[in-house]
Amino acid sequence: MGAMRQAFDSSDLGGPREQKVAFSDPTTPRGLSPRAPISGSITPPASKSLAQRALLFAGLANGTTRITGAARLGACDDITAAIGILENLGLSLQWTAPRALNVIGSSPCHVGGLQPIGPFEVGESATLARLVTAIAGLCCSGNVSVRGLGTLERRRSPALFTALQDAGVKLKCSEHGAWPVGLDSIGPPPDLNLRNPSSSQELSALLFAAACYVDPIQVHLDGALPSQPYLELTRSMLKTFGVLAAPVDARFKGGQSFEVQGVLTAPTQPIHLEPDASSAAVALCAAAITGGELEVPGPWSKSTQGDRHIVNFLVQFGLNSGLINADDSDTDSDLLATAGRITRGAEVDLSGHPDLAPPLAAVAAYAAINLGETSELLGLHTLVGKECNRLQTLASGLKSLGLQVELRNDERVCGLRISAPANREETRPRALLLDSQGDHRMAFAFALFGLIQPGVLVLDPMATSKSWPSFWEDLAAL
C-alpha cells in the first residue's frame, strides 16, 4: 500500500467531528459526490454485534465486566438500546470514560429470575430482540414483554418463538414470531429445539439463555443455519465469559447440537470492542469505487467478525486488497486495506456474509457501468427478511441506475445478476432520489451509488444512525 494521504478516526471526540456541517432537518435527502478518491485511514464505530453480546452477557454474568470500545459506547442506536436493557434490569452501570463502562452483573440463577422494571424496549434491533426474547422466556420471573420500534415491526422470528413455546413458555402476540410479545417465563429447560431458523441470531439467543444456568443444557438445531460466522462470534463471546457451547452428536439428522456448559462469569481482563467490520466494508468499497487507498486499523487477524473477509471479495473484483500487519511485528495491530480501481466483475457467494451484499452491489454496479462487466451476488436468502426486503430494494436501486438486473429467489439460488444496460445512454448522470426504507444498510448502499453516478440522493439518510451515526461526515472527511 502506498502512503496514505489523510488520517481520520470516527471515534474522535474532538477534531474533525467538531467541524461537521449541521443539518437542521435529519430527514433532508443526502448523498455523496465523487469529487476525489476516498483515501486515508478510518476507524468506524465499535461493532454493534460484539457490543450487544458483550453488554448483555456482562449484565447476566457473575461479577463486574469492564467494556471499552473503538468509539463512544452508546453512540449508535442499537448499542444505546442494549444499554437500556441493562438499565431496565436495574443493573449498576459505571461509566469510567466515554468509551469505557463497568457492568456489575446479576445472574438469574442467583436471584431467582430476572425482574425487569418495565417492558424490554429493543428499538429497531433484531439481534437484541431475539437475544432478549429468549432471556424473557427462560430467565425472568413472571410475565414480561418485549417491544420494538420502526423497522422491527416488519421483522419475524417464528423459529425462535416456536422453540420457546415448545419448551413451555406461554407467548402472547398478535402474530406468531412478531413483536411486541408477552412471555410467561419458565426458568431453565432441560433442552431446547430450534427448527428451520431464519437467522443465526435465533440459535445465538437460545445458547445465551442456556448459559445463564449452572447445569448443562443442550440446544438442538434441525435444518440449515444462515450466516454461520455470526454463530461463531456468539460462541467466542460465550467463551470469553467462561461458557463453552460445545458441539455434540446432533439429535436431528443433518442438524447441529450444542451442550452449553458453565455459567456466565465476568472475565478478568477488559473486553475491547473492535471496529465494526460491516461498516469498515462500506468504507473500503467507497475507496474501491473511487480508486482510492484506504486503511482500517484493528486487531483483524484475531477478529471473530466474518465481514472482515470483505478484502477477499474485493480481490475478486481485481483490487489490491487484504489484511496486512501494520508494523511487521507479532502484535494485535493490523489493517484491512485496499488500493487501486475495480478492474472486472465477479461472482461471489455471500451466504455467510449477507451484510456485505449492499456495498458489494455498489462495487458490481461500478463494474457494469464503467467496464461493461457482469457480476453475480449469490447466497442472499436472508436479505428478504431484514429491516426491509433488501433483495428487492437493492434490485430496484440498481435498476434506477439504468442497469440490467436479474433477481432470482428460489430454493436453489437466491441472488442478483448485475449487467451493463443494452443502451449505455441509460446510465448517463441524472438526479435520482432513492428510498432507504429506513434501513441503514440500504442507506449505505445508495450513498455508494452516488460515488458512481452524480446526483444520487438518499431518502431517510439518518437511518445510518442505527450502526454509524457519523457516517456522512466521516466519508466526507475522507
pLDDT at 327: 54
pLDDT at 112: 79
Stated pTM of the model = 0.88
Interval 447-451 mean pLDDT: 96
CATH class of 29-45+277-477: alpha beta
Q: Quote the pLDDT of residue 4.
A: 34
Domain 48-272: CATH superfamily is: Enolpyruvate transferase domain (3.65.10.10)
Alpha-carbon dihedral 263, 264, 269, 273, rounded to 10 degrees: 150
Give the three cell numbers for residue 449: 451509488
d(CA 8, CA 468): 15
Burial of residue 423, with CB atoms counted within 10 A of its CB: 0-12 exposed, 13-18 middle, 19 or more buried: exposed
Query: What is the share, in percent, of the chain residues with pLDDT greater than 90?
Result: 77
Average pLDDT (270-298) is 95
Q: Which residue has the cell 461458557?
A: 243
Burial level of 19, CB count in 10 A (0-12/13-18/19+)? exposed
Give the separation between CA 82 and CA 473, rounded to whole angstroms: 25
Residues 6+ away with beta carbon under 8 Å from 462: 26, 27, 469
Residue 110 binned pLDDT confidence (cut-offs 50, 70, 90)? confident
Mean of pLDDT values over 187-201 = 94
Q: What is the mean pLDDT of the chain?
A: 89
pLDDT band, residue 194 (cuts 50/70/90): very high
| Sheet with 244-248: strands ordered across | 191-195, 217-222, 256-261, 244-248
Q: What gap in Å lies between CA 140 and CA 468, rounded to an integer?
A: 32
CA distances from residue 81 to 68, 224, 336 in whole angstroms, order as listed: 17, 30, 29
Helices H / strands E in the chain, number of each: 13, 22
**108: cis peptide before it, omega within 30°?**
no
Chain center to CA of 156: 17
Q: Give me the mean pLDDT over the 342-357 stretch.
A: 96
Sorted by where each begins, the domain ranges of the chain are: 29-45+277-477, 48-272
Query: Phi, psi at residue 337, to the nearest 5°?
Result: -145, 150
Q: If DSSP codes are grouped into helix, strand and coil, which group holds residue 151?
A: helix
> What is the per-residue pLDDT across 296-320, written as a single tens digit (0 to 9) for each?
999 999 899 999 999 999 999 999 9
pLDDT tens sequence across 10-54: 333 222 222 333 344 667 999 998 788 999 999 999 999 999 999
At residue 196, the 3 state secondary structure works out as coil
* Whole-number pLDDT of residue 385: 86
- Residue ranges in 319-470 assigned as alpha helix (H): 357-371, 390-400, 440-452
What strands lie across the sheet with 320-325, from one edge to the other? Answer: 40-41, 294-298, 334-339, 320-325
Q: How far apart (Å, rounded) are the C-alpha atoms in residues 447 and 457? A: 7
pLDDT of residue 73: 67
Q: Out of 22-26, 357-361, 447-451, 453-457, pick the least confident.
A: 22-26
C-alpha span between 350 and 365 (Å, rounded):
17
What lies within 8 Å, CB to CB, of 239 at 6+ separation is none
pLDDT-derived band at 222, boundaries 50, 70, 90: very high
The sheet carrying 143-147 orders its strands as: 120-121, 143-147, 181-184, 170-173
d(CA 335, CA 355): 20
- pLDDT tens track for 335-345: 999 999 999 99
